[in-house]
Each structure stands twice: as structure tokens, then as C-alpha cells.
Structure 1
Amino acid sequence: MSKMIFINLPVADLERSKLFYEAIGARNEPKFTDDNAAMMVLSDAIYVMLLKHPFYSTFTGKPIADAHRSSQVILALSVDSPAEVDALVQKAGSAGGATDPGPKQELGGMMYERSFEDPDGHHWEAVWMDPKAAEQGASAFQEA
């Protein structure tokens, strides 16, 4: 079995969050969705688990951070073109998210990145990298 990533996010309003993630292209998996949580499939390997606050709290003794006021993680999704970066950020804004909470990054036609927040303030980036520059690694970006 190939490795998968499950991103667990605390959410205040499960239905609102499901609608947001569907609007940006995720698919709800009903087999792992109930009144406390929803599995949203971003790809064959990436799953976002939306967990109501009380349910999320059963997994940790730490307080749930207010992602509108503090940052704990930035999640990045790769896309296939700069146009898809813009389209994903636009979809997020149209679905009730905040657009461009972080700076846009354009590195000499080798990389293009914008960001958005979901309704709970979780920070996401949409990133496109030129495949040739990505093959060269970090040195290609330092020269830009």
C-alpha cells in the first residue's frame, strides 16, 4: 500500500467546511463521514479530515488554536499550471475563504504561489513549479 497523508483539521461548522472543500475540488467520502467528522479527498494520497472541535479534542489534550489569530502549519498543494494556482485561490474566495493571506511569490517563471485560508483560518498555498526547475532543486530557485 502506498503512503497516504491524512490532514486533521478542527472546524467550527462541519457543513460549512464540507461545502468549502467541495468548492475547491475535494470529494466527500461518505464511508468516513458522520455528525462529528468528514473525510474530504483531495487526491489518491491526500485526505483532509474535518473534525468538529469536541471530537478533535479527543485526540489531544492541547487547546485548539484559533487559526485566524495564530499559525501552526502552512499546507501546500501542487497544481499543474500558474492558471490553476489562480483558479484554486479564486474558488477558495468564492466559497467563503480568505484569499492571499500570505504574499504572492513569483520566481522568474520557475515558480508561482498564492495562498488562501479556509473558513476556520487554516492557511493553504497553491503552488506551481516548472518541472525543469524542480529537477534542479533549490539551487535553481536561488539563482532566480
Structure 2
Amino acid sequence: MPRMIFVNLPVTDLERSVRFYEALGLRKEPKFSNDQAAMMVLSDTISVMLLSHGFYSNFTSRPIAEPRTTSQMLLCISCDSPDEVDRITEAAGRTGGTVDPATQGQREGAPMYGRLFEDPDGHQWEPMWMDPDFAAKGAHQTEAA
């Protein structure tokens, strides 16, 4: 059995979050969903678990971070094309997410293309496409910040 990953996100309005992620193309798995949690399937091996704050608190004694004012992670999702990056990002903007307009850059000829958006609770996502030939070359030098 392949190893799976479950991204657990605390949300303030479960139904709103389910609608948001369905609009992005994820599928709700009823078998693992109830009035406090929803399993949203991204792929055969990756699911996003949307958990009400009360339910999320059962798994940790740490306070829930405010995603609009802090950053603990950036959730990057691979896409098959720059058009898919735009489709997901635009769907996020139409269904209650916040799109970062500064990330809509050049597409033509660029080896990578990505954009940023926040879900309705402020969790940051980055749909990203990378040219397969560029990716095959491996790690690249980065410029100093």
C-alpha cells in the first residue's frame, strides 16, 4: 500500500470550507466525514482533513494559530500545466478564497509557474507547475535574498 499524507486544517466553518475545496476539484469522502470533520480527497495518496476548531483541539494541546497573521506552512500542490494553476487559483477566488495578485507573473517560456491563494480560513496554498525538462535537471542555484 502506498504511503499517504493527510493535511489536517482547523476551520471555523466546516460547510463553507467543504464547498470551497469542492470548487477547487477535491472530492468529499462521506465515509470519513461528519459534523466536525470532512475528508477532502486530492489524489489517491493525499487528502485534506478539514476539522472544526473543537475537534482539531483533540489532537494537540497547542493553541490554534491564526493563519491570517502567522505562517507555519505553505501548502504547495503540483499541477499538470500553467492553465491548471490558473483554474485552481481562479476557482479559489470565486468561492471565498483570497488570491494574491502579486503572484500572477509571466507564463510564456518560464520553467516554473505558480500562484498563491488563501482558503476562507487563511491557510496558504500554492498551485505550481514546473516544466518537466527543467525538473529533470534537479536542484538549481538560488539567488541570495
Q: TM-score range by the shorter chain?
A: over 0.9
Give the secondary structure class of the aligned counterpart of 1:59.
Answer: coil
Matches within 5 A, 1:7-18: 7-18=7-18
Question: Corresponding residue for 1:49?
Answer: 49
Question: Corresponding residue for 1:122?
Answer: 123
| Aligned-residue offset at 1:63 | 0.3
Cα pair distance change 1:67/1:78, threshold 3 Å: same
| Aligned-residue offset at 1:105 | 5.7
Between the aligned partners of 1:70 and 1:102, the Cα distance in structure 2 is 19
- Among all aligned residue pairs of Structure 1 and Structure 2, give the percentage whose two residues are the same amino acid: 58
Letter of the aligned partner of 1:48 in structure 2? Answer: V
Q: Answer whether contact 1:112 1:129 (CA < 8 A) is retained.
A: yes
What are structure 1's unaligned runs of at least 5 residues?
none
Between the aligned partners of 1:101 and 1:56, the Cα distance in structure 2 is 31
The answer to which of 94-103 and 29-38 deviates more is 94-103
Question: Corresponding residue for 2:136?
Answer: 135
What is the RMSD computed on CA atoms of the aligned residues?
A: 1.8
Between the aligned partners of 1:50 and 1:58, the Cα distance in structure 2 is 14
Give 1 or 2: higher helix fraction. Answer: 1
Give the secondary structure class of the aligned counterpart of 2:80.
Answer: coil
| Aligned-residue offset at 1:103 | 3.5
Offset from partner CA, 1:59-83 (integer Å, 9 cap, x none): 0000001101111100000111111
Letter of the aligned partner of 2:134 in structure 1? Answer: A
Give the secondary structure class of the aligned counterpart of 1:38.
Answer: strand
Q: Answer whether contact 1:105 1:111 (CA < 8 A) is retained.
A: no
Question: Corresponding residue for 1:75?
Answer: 75
Question: Corresponding residue for 2:30?
Answer: 30
Between the aligned partners of 2:89 and 2:40, the Cα distance in structure 1 is 18
For normalisation by structure 2, the TM-score amounts to: 0.92
Q: How many equivalent pairs are there?
A: 142
| Aligned-residue offset at 1:104 | 4.4
Q: Which runs of 4+ in 1 moved over 6 A?
A: none
Between the aligned partners of 1:136 and 1:105, the Cα distance in structure 2 is 23
Question: Corresponding residue for 2:58?
Answer: 58
Give 1 or 2: higher strand fraction. Answer: 1
